[in-house]
Chains A and B, each alone.
Chain A
Amino acid sequence: MPMAKLKKSDVEHVAKLANLTLSQKELTQYTKQLEAVLDYMDVLNELDTSAVEPTYQILDDTKNIFREDKVQSSLTQDDALSSAKDTYNGFFVAADVFGSKKEKNIPEKATSRIKLDQYNAILTKANPEGNLGHKDLFVTKGIETTAGSRVLAGYLPQYDGTVVKLLKDAGYVTKYKLNQDAWGHGASGENSDFGPTKNPWDMSKVSGGSSSGSAVAVATGVVELATATDTCGSVRMPASYTNVCGIKPTYGAVSRYGVIAFASSLDCPSLISSTVTKLRKYFQIIYKGDPLDATSQSKARSEHVDKKVKKLGIPREFISEGIDKETREIFLKATEIYKSLGYEIVDISLPHTKYGVAAYYIIAPTETASNLSRYDGVRYGHPRSFFGPEAKRRIMLGTFASSAGYVGRYYEKAARARTLIKSDLAKAFEKVDAIVAPVSPIPPYDIGEKVNDPLQLYLMDVYAAPASLSGVPSLALPCGFTNSGLPTGMQIFGPRWSEGALFDLGEKYQAKTDWHKKKPKV
């Protein structure tokens, strides 16, 4: 059943639902782009999901997570109002709710931002004595936090997130807030409202995203540790493109409290560092359940025991079609190291791999459209007209996919496909102890090369999607360079809560190779 032609009036209706005011030019553009993306999504119709339950959360059957009915301290009135543009006698001032829509949407002029380093990796310099960089999705009390978006330019958070606090308590002081694709929307680092992050191995190339600044800051040695997030490859992609290591943990292993939400059922606060050994050390600091995050309290965390890893699987779907030849060769060579270390390498199949991107680009935009609803410019930040083009695109896509009449066809369908993708991995882990795979189908590409074709960019996430949609951990680490000197990474993923085993595998590989020791000329 092919998608009926999307009408401009449909897009206008969706924009109204999403509380976005679009120009005629934007309307025309989004109508075309949404149609192309939705057309692609219909690949899901190949799947018979009539007997498949939808997956909306990955929580090891965690249930009944509550807080006791106890009062805790509130913000002072001053703190509550501190980021609002307009207040009066202790109240926030909002546009008259009975007034016309036009009056409410007088666009403010966006201010330009001074670039702080040659790669545009740094958004804010916090403390020169610091030793830690935070992706700008991490909320830092009193330190500007923008999520890479003009909507939050100038926002000084009233609180520290849990990961920020845990690292602070362990003696890590925030040095920089780091650039990223706005709200985490991107695999290339080009979607920051403050300009793309450049790849230190070749300034004309993308650095990978969305945690672009975090990867580049570690790659160039300005910090040894940076926080990041991975919703569908946002740690692994930039780590791979800049020759550093990143861990995307089990979903729920690290608290999301105080990490600006992109797609809540997928977001994993993560870390980037230069070696697996360092990552393992830092990871211990943040690997904790948090009473402020109901999805971080799975009992499976404490019950998990790492199995001895003997068998590694390579998903054949990852190395057959659509992968760059050189990238494939580099990856396969890397797996030879594991063979030489005595691991058995076996061919496995993740048959629903090709549906991963479609499912992901319905689920994540639906959740992000919801999560970005709070940005109305009343309590903090700027009005919704400040959202950049990719954020608007994803808000529109997600609003459409969850709107009346379409939710079954898109959002629910994607949630059922997610179940199939998850069971692919579950079955694979009955055969093998971990899976090794390339991170990206192609090496770093030119900045600007793909920006006008969102679908091509979305397809970059194909190897990231299975682990993300299944909530399993994945470790990304350098595994070689292309002939033109661009870094390539691989990922190792295992069952939920198997980070320890992944770190073991990573350390063994790095003991035998020195790709991770190569640094870009700064």
Chain B
Amino acid sequence: MSKYHPVIGLEVHVELATQSKMFCGCPADHFAVSPNTQTCPVCLGLPGALPVPNKKAVEWTMMLGLALDCKVNLESKFDRKHYFYPDLPKGYQISQYDAPLCGVGKLGKIRIRRVHLEEDTGKLQHTTLNGKKVSLVDFNRSGVPLVEVVTEPDLTSALEAEKFARELQLIIRYLGISDADMEKGSMRLEANISLATSEVAKLPGYKVELKNINSFGFMKKAIGVEIKRQEEILSSGKKVTQETRGYSEETGKTFSQRTKEEEQDYRYFPEPDIPPMKYSNKQINELSNKIPELPNVKREKLKKLGLSVNYVEVLVADRSRAEYFEQALRQAQGKLAEPAKLIASVMVNQNLDQDFPEPAGLIRKLIELGKRKYVQVDEVEKVVQVVLKENGKAVQDYSKGKKEVLGFLIGQVQAGLKGQGNPRQIQEILVNSLSDDQN
């Protein structure tokens, strides 16, 4: 065991799946769209343009906060965060500073510090034109609503961080507010990592911010190698530099991007173009009522049905499948024996739900299959005796060792049962009867 204890906090950015952008009417879905075809005076930062906030984005942010047990702030506002970069058209980002929409909350054991709403930046591509290095800018993404979830530094391992991020993604998908796709960039992670010398010690006096993580797998790896890197530095008696580091998928290592000496002064101040937001407890309750059953509740419900952890996780990982399962289960009551396990089994192992868009269809199919299975044994035995009597030649051939006639006999029994027999049961009874004959 290492003598160091990792202290990890996450900052998660999620693009909301609203129709329009945060402060203007341009389409928000910018994936695989020609550059600069979804911009307007507002999101292009043209002179004289003004922002008007998207109501749905504000409500969705509060719903995410509520889903994370956050205290929703009854009074909130937007602020300007200033820095210069060519993908930031106004030279400031409209974000939230000291009155975020949602304050402290928790997800499992991990405390949430805040959930706030801001706007995304444009996208840069770096290339060389006429022998000169340049940055190409596309503003389609500029102004897309972006929620930021910030945790307290409560995470202690790469695995725990990964689990947290996956669960957050699942909650976001259950809320239907974003596809939270890491590969597409609609969910982005930053991890603040440092090492403490004891579990109870105060926070270490530095932190390394890890950026450019675009899959859960890389996140786990990146945090892992960063922890190792810091361990080596500390073990050799040196100090870890406070800085921002990236993760290279090629080398599998983290690398320095910016040291904190150049730390930005964002000069936040209240956004004068947007009136404040004020909500009543009644309005918050109304939003609360719009929140669907969340993964953890669903998980507990499915576990109580006696399903295995594997089945539960596969079903809960997709809200629509989990709901399909529950509907199917309701419809199967009284019609199928041990319906939960049966439905879960055919969904998880055979993807049978894909063949039946409506749960009712799946249930009909299962009942049909179930009926065949449960044709009475004495019925099978009766037909077997009849078939054996009528096919003396075949019985003789069998006793001479010509075992292949068994298939013919099974077919005869099945025909006698109008196809409702359990093939294995028929075979068992036939073989028993034939050996009885021989004795």
Give me the interface of A with B, judged by CB distance under 8 Å.
17, 19, 56-57, 59, 62-77, 80-81, 88-99, 137-139, 145, 147, 152, 155, 157-159, 161, 256-261, 263-265, 291-295, 297, 366-367, 370, 372-376, 378-380, 399, 402-404, 407, 411
Contact = CB atoms under 8 A, between A and B. Distances in A.
B90 A74 contact: no
A366 B271 CA distance: 12
12 contacts: A57-B276, A67-B52, A72-B26, A74-B27, A90-B37, A93-B134, A94-B136, A157-B46, A257-B49, A370-B92, A373-B90, A376-B86
Contact of A259 (B20, B48, B82, B91): B48
Given A72-B20, A403-B265, A161 B48 contact: yes
B265 A374 contact: no
Interface of B: 18-20, 24-27, 34-41, 44-58, 80, 82, 84-86, 89-92, 124-126, 129, 132-139, 265, 267, 269-270, 272-279
Query: Which 5 A-B residue pairings sit nearest by Cβ, starting from the closest?
Result: A373-B91, A72-B25, A66-B55, A94-B86, A91-B136
- Interface majority SS (helix, strand, loop, mixed), chain A: loop
B135 A95 contact: yes
Contacts of B36: 77, 80-81, 90-92
Contacts of B26: 71-72, 74
Contact of B136 (A76, A93, A372): A93
Chain A CB count within 10 A is highest, among B47, B58, B276, B278, for B47
B55 A379 contact: no
A374 B90 contact: yes
B85 A294 contact: no
Contacts of A155: 47
A258 B48 contact: yes
Contacts of A404: 265, 267
Contacts of B57: 69
A92 B91 CA distance: 16
A17 to B, nearest CB: 6
A17 B267 contact: yes
Contact of A80 (B44, B53, B133): B44
B275 A295 contact: yes
Interface hub of B34, B82, B270 (most chain A Cβ within 10 A): B82
A89 to B, nearest CB: 7
Contact of A74 (B37, B53, B86, B91): B37
A65 B52 contact: yes
A67 B58 CA distance: 11
Contacts of B24: 72
Given A57-B272, A94-B137, 12 more contacts: A66-B55, A70-B20, A70-B25, A94-B124, A97-B85, A152-B47, A257-B50, A291-B52, A294-B273, A297-B275, A376-B86, A380-B46
B46 A159 contact: yes
A63 B76 CA distance: 10
B221 to A, nearest CB: 26
A40 to B, nearest CB: 22
A90 B35 contact: yes
Given A89-B35, A93-B136, A402-B269, A66 B58 contact: yes
A67 B22 CA distance: 9
B37 A76 contact: yes
A372 B48 CA distance: 11
Contacts of A261: 47-48, 50
Given A71-B26, A72-B25, A96 B135 contact: yes
A373 B82 contact: yes
A17 B265 contact: yes
Contacts of B37: 74, 76-77, 80, 90
Given A77-B35, A91-B136, A66 B48 contact: no
A68 to B, nearest CB: 6
A95 B275 contact: no
Contact of B34 (A90, A159, A264, A373): A90
Given A66-B55, A88-B136, A379 B50 contact: no
B134 A96 contact: yes
A69 B278 contact: no
